[in-house]
Amino acid sequence: MASFIERHEHQLEIVPPYSIIQCRRADIIEKNGVEVGKTYHRHTRAPGEDVSDYCEELQAVAAALWTPEVIAAYEASKVASTT
């Protein structure tokens, strides 16, 4: 009997100057240990956003990079771009 397994791989990229995190997730389907399908999903997270529902790697990177100063600078840049 064939068994299917789904696994995820993540690739993180940091975009300066505000340390925006881009995440590419690969959803990989394996049948009896052989990859039979793969799809990709991308999303970005900006300083101060809730990342509690994302992979541990993304959470750790956000915690390390998103200092209160970085979050404040990012928020100030959003205000400046709308005026």
Q: Which tens digits make up the pLDDT trace of 60-82?
A: 999 999 999 999 999 999 988 77
Structure confidence at residue 1 (pLDDT): 58
Q: What angle do CA 75, 78, 81 make, to 5 degrees?
A: 150
Q: Convert the pLDDT of each residue in 6-21 to its tens digit.
A: 888 899 999 999 999 9
Please say whether the beta carbons of 22 and 12 come within 8 A. Answer: yes
Local confidence band at 46 (pLDDT 50, 70, 90 cut-offs):
very high
